[in-house]
C-alpha cells in the first residue's frame, strides 16, 4: 500500500501532517517520499497545482510543506484557490510560505496577494503587502487602489494616488477607475466633488477620455453629487457607449429627480443602440423613473418587457416592481407581485411595507413587518426606517415608539440619524414637541440636518414659530445652501401673519443666490407624460386651463369649498391670493386630466413638493364634484381622493 512519510522539519509556521488519506489524491501520484518512490521525477509543484484545480485546497497547502522550491505558478494557483474558497487562514499560510521562499517581492504575485486579501475582506493585509513590495508596478498600485475603494477607504486611496503622481508613475485606465470610485463610495473630509473634477482634468490631459469604463465611473461621480449637467456632458462626449454607461446616465436622471429625462433616455437607447440589450440594472432604474412619475401605463409596458426578456426572475427587478406599483397607487398589484415571488429577501419585505406605509395603511405595514420576522427574516436598518415612516404617515405614535425602542433592545440595531429623524417626525406631526426635543437632546451623537429638518417640517404643520426658529438657526449653519429650509421658515412666518419676518427670510434667500424650487406636477395621459409648473403670473400657454379652473372653482365653491389663502406667502388682498392659488401645479394637472381623459377614468399625478393645504382641500371637492378618483403622490406620501375624502385622513 502506498505510504506517505514526513519530510524533515521545515522552517515555517505551517503544520505538516505525517499522513493523510492517499485515496483523496489523484491516482497518478503514488508517494511523496523520494527514497521509497520508484517515480523519482515526481514534482510536488505539479501535485499542488493539480490539487488546486481540483478544489482540494487543504491538501495542496499540506503538500506545500514538502516542496522546497515552489514555483510562481504554484503560488498563483494557491492564492487563487484561497480567494475562491474564502479561506483567510489558508491565505495567511500561503503568504507566510511565499515570504519564506523569497518570491514575495515578485510584483506579479504581490498583485495576486492584494487581490486575494481584497476578496477576503482583509484590506489591512492587502495594504501591508503593498507597503512591503519594493518594485511596485502599475498593476500593484491598481490592485491596492481597488482594495481600498471597495472598502470605502477613499482618503487613504487618494493619498496613495497623490504619492504615485509625485513619483511620476503614469496612471492607466484601472487606476483612474478606482480613484474615481473612491470619490463615489467614501465619506471624505475633503470635497470629493472637487477631487473628482481634478481627476477629470488629469484624465483629459493624459488622453483617457475615450475609455468607456473610466468615463462611466466619472459620470457616476457627477451623478452622486447631483451635477446633472456635468454628467450629461461626459455622457454625450463618450465616443463609445455600452449598456453600463447608458444605465449610469439613466440612473443619474432617475436619482436626481429627473425621472422624465430618464425615461426619454431609455427610449433613445432602445432606438439608437439597437445592439445594446438592457440588463437588470437598467430595468431597475427605468422602473424607479416610472415610480417617480406615478406613470402606471409606462410601468406596465416596462413590466411587459421584463417578462419578455426573462428578467422577472431577478430579485432586484421584482422588488422594484413592487415599489413601482405601490407608488402608482396600485397596492393590490404590488401585493400580487410579492405573492407570486418564488424567492424573497429582506428588500422584498421592505418594499411591501413601504407601499402600504406611503398609502396611509400604517397598521397593515406593521402587520407585514411582524409577519416578516415570524417568517425568520431579520429586519435591517432600512426595515425600521420603512416601518417608522409608515407609523408617521398614519399617526401611530405609540406603535412607533415601541418599534424604535425594540431596535437596540430586541434586534441589537443601533438607531442611525435616519431612525431618529423618523421618530422626531412621528412625535412632531402628533404635536408632541416636548418629547421630540427630549429625544433630540438625548441622542448618542450630534443631530444632523435630517433630524432638525424633520422638526422644522413638523413646526410648519402646527405653526410652532419658536421651535421653528431654533431648528432653522441650526439648519442654516449645517446646510447654508439648502433653499428648502428658508422656504419652510418663510411658510411658517406667513401662516402666522409675520410679514416682516417673511421679507427678512426672503432677503436671506436672495443674498445667498438661492431660489425656491418651483412646484412641478406630472400627469400621464394616453401613455404620454406631461409636466406642469406652478405659475404666479400671466402665461398664455395655460390660460385655457386657468379658464377651466375658474369655472370649476365656482362650482365647488357652491358645494362649500373655501380657498385657504393663508398658504400664500405674500401680503395681498384675498382676490389676488385666490388667483395665485389657481396657478398651483397640482390644480393645473387636475384640470389637464379632467379635460383630456375619459369620464370616470382615474387621474394620476405626481408632485415634487409637499401638497399644500389649499390644493388638498381643492382635490377633495373636485373628486366628489367630478365623480373621479384622483391619485396624487407628493414628495412625502400618497393621497387618494375619492367622493370628497382623502386616504390620508387629513393627516399629512
Helix (H, G, I), strand (E, B) or coil at 71: coil
Helix (H, G, I), strand (E, B) or coil at 380: coil
Identify the CA nearest to 203 among candidates 184, 181, 218: 218
Residue 32's pLDDT is what?
A: 39
Contact between 351 and 365 (Cβ < 8 Å):
no
Q: What is the CA radius of gyration of the chain?
A: 31
Cell (9 digits) for 211: 475609455
Instruction: Region of 376 please: left (phi>0), alpha (psi -120 to 50) or beta.
Output: left
Say how many C-beta atoms besides its own lie within 10 A of residue 547's C-beta.
11
Instruction: Region of 349 please: left (phi>0), alpha (psi -120 to 50) or beta.
Output: alpha
Per-residue pLDDT of 146-189, as tens digits, reads 999 988 888 889 889 999 989 988 988 898 999 898 888 766 55
Return the half-sphere exposure (C-beta side, CA atoms, 13 A cut-off) of residue 221.
29
Contact between 455 and 440 (Cβ < 8 Å):
yes
CA distance 114 to 386: 39
Cβ within 8 Å of residue 147, ≥6 positions away? 114, 115, 117, 118, 123, 126, 127
Residue 21's pLDDT is what?
A: 33
Contact between 37 and 30 (Cβ < 8 Å):
yes
529-537 long-range Cβ contacts below 8 angstroms, 24+ apart: 529/260, 529/263, 529/293, 529/295, 529/298, 530/589, 530/592, 531/260, 532/585, 532/588, 532/589, 532/592, 533/585, 534/583, 534/584, 534/585, 534/588, 535/583, 535/588, 536/580, 536/583
Run means of pLDDT, 10 residues per run, the chain, 652 residues: 36 36 36 40 79 89 85 92 92 90 90 94 93 92 93 88 90 90 70 83 88 92 90 92 92 90 92 80 93 91 92 92 93 94 94 93 96 95 96 94 95 95 96 96 93 94 94 94 92 89 91 86 88 68 82 91 85 84 90 91 90 92 93 87 88 74
Contact between 577 and 570 (Cβ < 8 Å):
yes
Say how many C-beta atoms besides its own lie within 10 A of residue 88's C-beta.
16
Contact between 629 and 604 (Cβ < 8 Å):
no
Residue 146's pLDDT is what?
A: 93
Cell 406605509 sits at which residue?
A: 357
Give the C-alpha distances (Å, rounded to integers) separating 514 from 224, 230, 501, 520. 21, 20, 18, 18
Q: At what angle do helices 449-462 and 483-495 cross, to 10 degrees?
A: 20
Residue 535's pLDDT is what?
A: 67
CA distance 652 to 646: 10
First-residue to last-residue Cα distance in the chain: 82
Is CATH 1.25.40 what the domain over 431-517 is classified as, yes or no? Answer: yes
Mean pLDDT, all residues of the chain: 87
Residue 537's pLDDT is what?
A: 54
Where are the chain's structural domains? 45-141, 255-343, 431-517, 520-646
Residue 578's pLDDT is what?
A: 85
Per-residue pLDDT of 16-75, as tens digits, reads 333 333 333 343 333 334 434 433 345 788 888 888 998 888 889 888 888 888 899 999
Cell (9 digits) for 115: 487581490
Cell (9 digits) for 212: 468607456
Amino acid at each position: 500500500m502506498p505510504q506517505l512519510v514526513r519530510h524533515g522539519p521545515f522552517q515555517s509556521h505551517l503544520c505538516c501532517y505525517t499522513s493523510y488519506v492517499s485515496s483523496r489524491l489523484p491516482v497518478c501520484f503514488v508517494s511523496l517520499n523520494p527514497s521509497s518512490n520508484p517515480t523519482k521525477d515526481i514534482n510536488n509543484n505539479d501535485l499542488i497545482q493539480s490539487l488546486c484545480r481540483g478544489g482540494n485546497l487543504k491538501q495542496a497547502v499540506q503538500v506545500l510543506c514538502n516542496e522546497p522550491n515552489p514555483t510562481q505558478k504554484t503560488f498563483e494557483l494557491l492564492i487563487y484557490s484561497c480567494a475562491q474558497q474564502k479561506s483567510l487562514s489558508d491565505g495567511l499560510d500561503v503568504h507566510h510560505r511565499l515570504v519564506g521562499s523569497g518570491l514575495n517581492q515578485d510584483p506579479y504575485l504581490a498583485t495576486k496577494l492584494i487581490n486575494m486579501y481584497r476578496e477576503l475582506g482583509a484590506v489591512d493585509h492587502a495594504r501591508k503587502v503593498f507597503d512591503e513590495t519594493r518594485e511596485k508596478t502599475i498593476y500593484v498600485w491598481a490592485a491596492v487602489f481597488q482594495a481600498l475603494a471597495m472598502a470605502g477607504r477613499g482618503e487613504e486611496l487618494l493619498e496613495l494616488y497623490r504619492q504615485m503622481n509625485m513619483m511620476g508613475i503614469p496612471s492607466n485606465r484601472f487606476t483612474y477607475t478606482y480613484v474615481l470610485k473612491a470619490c463615489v463610495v467614501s465619506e471624505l473630509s475633503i470635497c470629493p466633488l472637487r477631487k473628482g473634477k481634478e481627476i477629470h482634468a488629469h484624465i483629459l490631459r493624459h488622453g483617457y477620455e475615450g475609455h468607456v469604463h473610466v468615463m462611466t465611473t466619472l459620470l457616476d461621480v457627477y451623478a452622486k453629487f447631483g451635477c446633472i449637467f456635468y454628467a450629461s456632458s461626459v455622457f454625450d462626449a463618450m465616443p463609445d457607449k455600452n449598456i453600463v454607461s447608458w444605465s449610469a446616465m439613466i440612473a443619474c436622471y432617475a436619482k436626481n429627480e429627473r425621472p422624465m429625462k430618464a425615461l426619454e433616455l431609455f427610449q433613445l437607447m432602445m432606438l439608437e443602440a439597437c445592439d445594446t440589450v438592457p440588463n437588470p440594472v437598467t430595468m431597475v432604474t427605468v422602473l424607479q423613473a416610472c415610480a417617480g412619475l406615478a406613470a402606471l401605463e409606462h410601468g406596465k409596458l416596462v413590466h411587459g418587457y421584463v417578462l419578455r426578456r426573462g428578467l422577472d426572475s431577478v430579485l432586484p427587478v421584482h422588488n422594484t416592481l413592487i415599489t413601482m406599483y405601490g407608488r402608482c397607487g396600485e397596492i393590490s398589484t404590488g401585493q400580487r407581485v410579492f405573492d407570486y415571488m418564488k424567492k424573497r429577501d429582506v428588500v422584498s419585505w421592505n418594499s411591501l411595507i413601504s407601499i402600504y406605509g406611503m398609502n396611509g395603511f400604517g397598521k397593515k405595514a406593521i402587520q407585514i413587518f411582524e409577519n416578516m420576522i415570524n417568517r425568520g427574516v431579520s429586519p435591517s436598518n432600512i426595515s425600521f426606517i420603512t416601518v417608522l415612516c409608515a407609523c408617521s404617515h398614519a399617526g401611530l405614535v405609540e406603535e412607533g415608539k415601541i418599534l424604535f425602542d425594540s431596535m437596540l433592545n430586541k434586534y441589537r440595531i443601533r438607531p442611525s440619524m435616519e431612525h431618529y429623524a423618523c421618530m422626531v417626525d412621528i412625535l412632531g406631526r402628533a404635536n408632541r414637541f416636548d418629547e421630540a426635543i427630549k429625544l433630540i437632546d438625548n441622542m448618542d451623537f450630534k443631530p444632523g440636518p435630517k433630524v432638525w429638518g424633520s422638526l422644522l417640517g413638523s413646526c410648519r404643520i402646527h405653526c410652532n414659530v419658536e421651535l421653528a426658529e431654533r431648528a432653522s438657526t441650526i439648519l442654516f449653519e449645517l446646510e447654508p445652501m439648502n433653499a428648502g429650509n428658508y422656504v419652510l421658515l418663510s411658510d411658517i412666518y406667513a401662516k402666522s401673519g409675520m410679514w416682516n419676518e417673511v421679507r427678512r427670510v426672503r432677503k436671506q434667500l436672495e443674498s445667498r443666490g438661492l431660489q425656491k424650487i418651483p412646484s412641478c406636477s406630472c400627469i400621464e395621459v394616453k401613455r404620454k407624460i406631461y409636466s406642469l409648473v406652478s405659475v404666479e403670473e400671466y402665461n398664455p400657454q395655460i390660460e385655457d386651463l386657468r379658464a377651466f379652473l375658474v369655472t370649476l372653482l365656482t362650482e365647488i365653491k357652491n358645494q362649500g369649498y373655501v380657498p385657504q389663502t393663508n398658504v400664500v406667502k405674500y401680503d395681498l388682498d384675498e382676490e389676488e391670493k385666490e388667483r395665485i392659488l389657481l396657478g398651483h401645479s397640482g390644480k393645473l394637472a387636475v384640470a389637464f386630466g379632467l379635460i383630456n381623459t375619459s369620464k370616470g377614468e382615474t387621474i394620476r399625478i405626481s408632485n415634487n413638493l409637499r401638497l399644500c393645504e389649499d390644493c388638498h382641500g381643492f382635490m377633495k371637492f373636485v373628486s366628489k364634484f367630478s365623480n373621479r378618483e384622483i391619485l396624487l403622490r407628493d414628495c412625502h406620501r400618497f393621497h387618494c381622493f375619492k367622493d370628497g375624502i382623502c386616504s390620508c385622513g387629513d393627516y399629512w
